[in-house]
Amino acid sequence: QACTYPCQCPSQPLQCPAGTSHVLDACGCCKVCARQLGELCSLQKPCDHHKGLYCDFSKIHRGSGICLAHEGATCDLLGKIYHNGESFQPTCKLQCICMDGAIGCIPLCSDDLRLPSPECPNPRRVKFRNKCCEEWICEEGSEENRFETAMAVFREDPAHKPELNNLQENCLVQTTEWSACSKSCGMGISARVTNDNPQCHLEKETRLCMVRPCDFPVEKSKKGKKCVRTPKPRQSLHFEFSGCTSTRSYRPKFCGSCTDGRCCTPYATSTVEVEFRCPEGDFFQRKMMFIKMCSCHYDCPRDNDIFLATYHRRMIGDHV
């Protein structure tokens, strides 16, 4: 179909299945749900290039093709072979894809943390029949127990109990430390729990983190020292996340390495908003960790790569 300008796109937000990319059509006008492996495709219905798929027009006529994957290693999960670019659900809680021998998965169930609040003093996750994901329910308790449970996050004032319409004024802000980065090299995720919000709800928030790039050159430590704690890259760099690139360049500090068997991890950090630009033209902002100082220690974190290493390509030292 010929392109028409100015672009006329649907006003309703795009609803795509879990794990499906939003990509621009051939006119560069509107976002559409990317076609997956084996599905029919066209210029107006492109394949999911984030998964290495392309539209092969040699097999089907009349302007349509079929989505195929570029050659790559297959994946073996529990004895079942998946082709490169193939999406599958090993359980009802996971949507996975084979990407050149490695399996990446996204959760289909919400993993939100819900802690006691005045509106829900006794939250509990319950498994319902015929439903895959657990759901939160609020157990009712006595009025006295209701406020005893929730008072931990409110200022102590014996004159009155906190009113629901005045939560922020009575809120006693509590914030945990950021968790260790989920990956020992490359982009990972760090999390914490805080109630620093207008509702005074204890919520989990996340930030991006990078302890060191996976291709970061190992610097030699100075004579008499066993660790290189916080080296800087020689040139400024752009961060990459989910195929998108930071709009400005940075020269961050990273954690180095130790020659005596100890681990080198962030000790003091700050959090900065970083803006990313995607190939389709979208912009978004994410909080990101910036390292101020690293420390060396023997309490080395365990292996926890976010990808399932199907051919023993696990990284040693990933954080839990």
Counting as low any pLDDT under 70, the low residues of the chain are 1-2, 59-61, 111-113, 115-118, 140-169, 216-231, 301-320
pLDDT of residue 255: 86
pLDDT of residue 149: 46
- Round to whole Å and give the CA distance between 83 and 72: 8
- Round to whole Å and give the CA distance between 175 and 172: 10
pLDDT of residue 212: 86
Spatial CB neighbours of 141, under 8 Å, sequence gap ≥ 6: 121, 122, 149
**Cross-strand partners of 209:** 188
pLDDT of residue 143: 52
- Output the CA torsion 139→143→148→151 (10° steps): 90
pLDDT of residue 158: 45
pLDDT of residue 286: 92
Return the residue matching tokens 């014996």.
158
pLDDT of residue 49: 82
Task: Specify the amino acid at residue 2.
Answer: A
Contact, 263 vs 297, CB < 8 A? yes
pLDDT of residue 304: 39
User: CATH classification of 1-70 is 3.40.50, yes or no?
Assistant: no
- Round to whole Å and give the CA distance between 98 and 69: 11
Return the residue matching tokens 């759901």.
135
Quote the mean pLDDT of the chain. 76
- Round to whole Å and give the CA distance between 88 and 308: 14
- Round to whole Å and give the CA distance between 133 and 82: 25
pLDDT of residue 110: 76
DSSP code of 264? Answer: E
Classify strands 65-69 and 40-41 as parallel, antiparallel or unpaired: antiparallel
pLDDT digits (tens, 9 = 90+) for 216-231: 666 555 555 566 666 6
Its pTM stands at: 0.56
pLDDT of residue 290: 92
Contact, 30 vs 6, CB < 8 A? no
Phi, psi values for residue 143, rounded to 5°: -60, -35
- CATH code, residues 187-216+225-297: 2.10.90
